[in-house]
Amino acid sequence: MGTIQIENVSFKYDQMVDNLFSALNLKIDESWKLGLIGRNGRGKTTLMKMLLGQLQYQGQIVSNLNFYYYPQTVVDKDVPTVEVVKNLAHLEDYDLWKIEIELEKLQVDADVLQQEFSTLSPGERTKVLLAILFIDESGFQLIDEPTNHLDIEGRKIVSDYLKSKKGFIVISHDKSFLNPVIDHVISIDRSDVVVYKGNFDTWQEQKERQDQSELAEKEQLKKDINRLHETAVKRENWSRQTESHKNRKHYTEKVHLDKGFIGTKAAKMMKKAKTAEHRVNSAIDEKKTLLKNIEIEAPIELNYEKLSHPDVFVQVENLTLQHKNIVTPTVDFKVKRDQVVSLIGPNGIGKTTIFKQILGLSQPFEQTGRIHVSNNLKISYLRQDNELQGTIRQLAEQKQIEPELIFSNLRKLGFERALFEQPIEQMSQGQRRKVALAVSLSEEANLYFWDEPLNYLDVITRQQIIEAIKKQHPTMLLIDHDQDLIDSVSSKRIELHK
C-alpha cells in the first residue's frame, strides 16, 4: 500500500522572514480521503505544490504515487474543450471514452467537448478539469478548492463524485461540501499541522474541546485581546469620521472655514491615531502568539453611506440580454433602499452578465427591456474574479482610498501585516480575495454589487462578512452560492431559471 511520508520538511518563500512550515512530519495513507483545512495563507496550496515537487524545501517527502493537481493551467482556452482534455490528460482519440465516463458521473453533457473551452461556464470548466484528474485510476489527486464558482447543485454533484473515489486530498472552506466526502482531516493551525481521523464535524468537535481547555488556561489573555480590539475599532471609527467630515462639502460652505486648514489638522490627528492603532495592532499580534492555535478576529464594517432617498436605487424591467446563442432569462426587479437583493441561479445562467449590464460596463450583449439606476450613487463593485494586480498602495491610489483604511480592514480580516507591501499576484487566493473585499469595505458607497464575495475565503472570514451585512444592512445586490450567506442576509431573492 502506498504512503506519503513527509519528514522534517521546512519551507519558506524567498521574501518571507519566518518559515511557512518548520520541521513538518506527516504520514498519509494512499487510501485516505483527506480534507486539508486552515485559514487563508496558512500554506495549503503550498503544501500541495511541495507534494508535486514544484517547490524546493528542506527535509524529504517520500512517496511513489502519481500526483495530479486541480486546477490545471489551461494555456489556450480558445480551442474546443476536447483539445484541452487531450493535452492535459495526454489522451489519444481512441481513449476519449475515458473522459466521457467521468463527465457522465459529473452530469456534464459530452457535447461540451466540442464547445470552445473559453465559452464554458465556470462550473462546467471545474467539472471538466476534475474529470481529467480522475482518468488515471492509480493517481493521487490534489484538489485545490473545487467549489468556488460551483452552484449549490454543482457542489452536491462534485461532493457525490468525490465520495465515490478514494486516495486524494481536497482543500475546501465549505463544511457541508467536505463533510460527506472525507474520512481524514489535515488541519493547518496557527502553530501546528495536525492529522485527525474523521470528517469536518469530528475535527471541529475535537478542535473546540482543545480550544476550550487552552482558553480556560488563558482566559485573561483572551479578555486582553478583545479589549484591544475594541480600542482599535473605536480609533478606527474616529479617524474615519474625521476624514468624512473633511470631505463633506457643506461643512466648509456653511462654516466658512478653510478646508485646507481643517485638512491639515485632521491629518495630524489622524496620523497620531494611526500610530496608536499600529501599536494596538502589534499588541494584539503579540498576545495572539501566546494563544497558540486559537483564532480571534474583530468585527468588520462597511464604509456605507446611508441615504434617505430615493426609495428605489435600481429598477430593472423585463430585461433580457443576448449574444450569439447565449440568452439570459428575463428578469424584472427593484432594489430599494437598504435592501439586500440576491440573484440566485445555476452556473452560467447570466448573473454576472446582468450585474455588468446594470453597471453599464461594456459587453457584447444586446439588451431588451429597461434598466434604471438612480443618479449620483456611489457604487462599490466587487468582481467575481481575483484579477487584482500590483500593490495594495497602488490600488488605494487608483481608488483614492486612504491605504491605512484598507490595511486596517485587512487586519480585521486576519491578513498578516507582513504582506501589506507585497505584490498581490504573489498572495494566496484567499488573501487576494481579502484585498478586493477590503477595498470594497473601505470605499464610501451607497450601493454595493458583490459578486460571490465568499469565494476562496476561510470559515472565520465568511462569518465576519455575514455578521457585517446583517448588522448594517446596506443596499446591496448580491450573487453567491453559499446558502448560509443568502439565508442570513437577503431581503429579497430573484431566482433565475433556464
Ligand X SMILES: Nc1ncnc2c1ncn2[C@@H]1O[C@H](COP(=O)(O)OP(=O)(O)OP(=O)(O)O)[C@@H](O)[C@H]1O
- Closest approach of ligand X to the CB of residue 293, in Å: 15
Give the Cα-Cα-Cα angle 332, 334, 340 (nearest 5 degrees): 120
- Closest approach of ligand X to the CB of residue 360, in Å: 32
Q: Which residue is nearest to Mg ion (CB)?
A: 45
For Mg ion (CB under 5 A), the number of binding residues is 4
C-beta of 18 vs 93, nearer to ligand X:
18
Is 20 among the residues that bind ligand X (CB under 6 A)? Answer: yes
User: How many CA atoms lie less than 13 Å away from 203 in the CB half-sphere?
Assistant: 24
- Nearest residue to 466 via CA among 448, 453, 481, 451: 453
- Nearest residue to 448 via CA among 425, 468, 463: 468
Tell me which long-range contacts 348-351 makes (C-beta under 8 A, separation of at least 24).
348/120, 348/121, 348/122, 348/123, 348/124, 349/496, 349/497, 349/498, 350/321, 350/326, 350/496, 351/451, 351/479, 351/496
For residue 103, give the 3-state DSSP assignment: helix
DSSP state of 188: E
Is 43 among the residues that bind ligand X (CB under 6 A)? Answer: yes
Report CA dihedral (137, 141, 145, 146) to the nearest 10 degrees.
-10
- Pairing label, strands 33-38, 168-171: parallel
- Show the binding pattern over residues 74-113: x = contacts ligand X (CB under 6 A), - = does not: ----------------------------------------
For residue 322, give the 3-state DSSP assignment: strand
Tell me which of ligand X, Mg ion, none is bound by residue 5, counting a contact when its beta carbon lies within the kind-specific cut-off of 5 to 8 angstroms.
none
Is 42 among the residues that bind ligand X (CB under 6 A)? Answer: yes
Among 6, 20, 35, 45, binds Mg ion (CB under 5 A): 45
Among 172, 428, 440, 442, binds ligand X (CB under 6 A): 428
Which range in 60-68, 99-107, 297-305, 420-428 contacts ligand X by CB under 6 A?
420-428
Which range in 27-35, 213-221, 244-252, 429-437 contacts ligand X by CB under 6 A?
429-437
Which range in 43-51, 155-163, 249-257, 478-486 contacts ligand X by CB under 6 A?
43-51
Is residue 71 reached through a cis peptide bond, with omega within 30 degrees of 0 on the bond before it? yes
Tell me which of Mg ion, ligand X, none is bound by residue 419, counting a contact when its beta carbon lies within the kind-specific cut-off of 5 to 8 angstroms.
ligand X
Tell me which of Mg ion, ligand X, none is bound by residue 474, counting a contact when its beta carbon lies within the kind-specific cut-off of 5 to 8 angstroms.
none
Tell me which of ligand X, Mg ion, none is bound by residue 42, counting a contact when its beta carbon lies within the kind-specific cut-off of 5 to 8 angstroms.
ligand X
Is 386 among the residues that bind ligand X (CB under 6 A)? Answer: no
- Closest approach of ligand X to the CB of residue 177, in Å: 15
C-beta of 147 vs 429, nearer to Mg ion:
429
- Closest approach of ligand X to the CB of residue 382, in Å: 17
Tell me which of Mg ion, ligand X, none is bound by residue 237, counting a contact when its beta carbon lies within the kind-specific cut-off of 5 to 8 angstroms.
none
Q: Which residues contact 116 (CB under 8 A, 6 or more apart)?
A: 77, 78, 79, 80, 81
Is 40 among the residues that bind ligand X (CB under 6 A)? Answer: yes
Q: Give the type of residue at 217.
A: E
* Residue 81 and residue 128 in contact, taking contact as beta carbons nearer than 8 Å: yes
Is 419 among the residues that bind ligand X (CB under 6 A)? Answer: yes
What stretches of 77-192 adopt beta strand conformation (E)? 139-144, 168-171, 184-188
DSSP 369-421: EEEEE-TT--EEEE-SS----S-HHHHHHHHT--HHHHHHHHHHTT--GGGTT
For ligand X (CB under 6 A), the number of binding residues is 20
Is 81 among the residues that bind Mg ion (CB under 5 A)? Answer: no
Is 453 among the residues that bind ligand X (CB under 6 A)? Answer: no
- Closest approach of Mg ion to the CB of residue 310, in Å: 42
Among 13, 245, 268, 318, binds ligand X (CB under 6 A): 13
Tell me which of ligand X, Mg ion, none is bound by residue 396, counting a contact when its beta carbon lies within the kind-specific cut-off of 5 to 8 angstroms.
none
C-beta of 317 vs 385, nearer to Mg ion:
385
- Closest approach of ligand X to the CB of residue 171, in Å: 7
Q: Give the type of residue at 349.
A: I
Is 426 among the residues that bind ligand X (CB under 6 A)? Answer: yes
- Nearest residue to 224 via CA among 286, 279, 293, 147: 286
C-beta of 170 vs 410, nearer to Mg ion:
170
Is 45 among the residues that bind ligand X (CB under 6 A)? Answer: yes
Q: Which residue has the cell 452552484?
A: 151
- A 10 A CB-CB count for 462 gives 19
C-beta of 20 vs 331, nearer to ligand X:
20
Is 147 among the residues that bind ligand X (CB under 6 A)? Answer: no
C-beta of 352 vs 428, nearer to Mg ion:
428
Q: Which residue has the cell 446563442?
A: 325
User: How many CA atoms lie less than 13 Å away from 145 in the CB half-sphere?
Assistant: 16
Which range in 40-48, 238-246, 271-279, 489-497 contacts Mg ion by CB under 5 A?
40-48
C-beta of 201 vs 421, nearer to ligand X:
421
Q: Which three cell numbers stand for residue 40?
A: 487563508
* Residue 313 and residue 374 in contact, taking contact as beta carbons nearer than 8 Å: yes
| Residue numbers at the binding site for Mg ion (CB under 5 A) | 44-45, 428-429
| Residue numbers at the binding site for ligand X (CB under 6 A) | 13, 15, 20, 38, 40-46, 419, 426-431, 456, 458
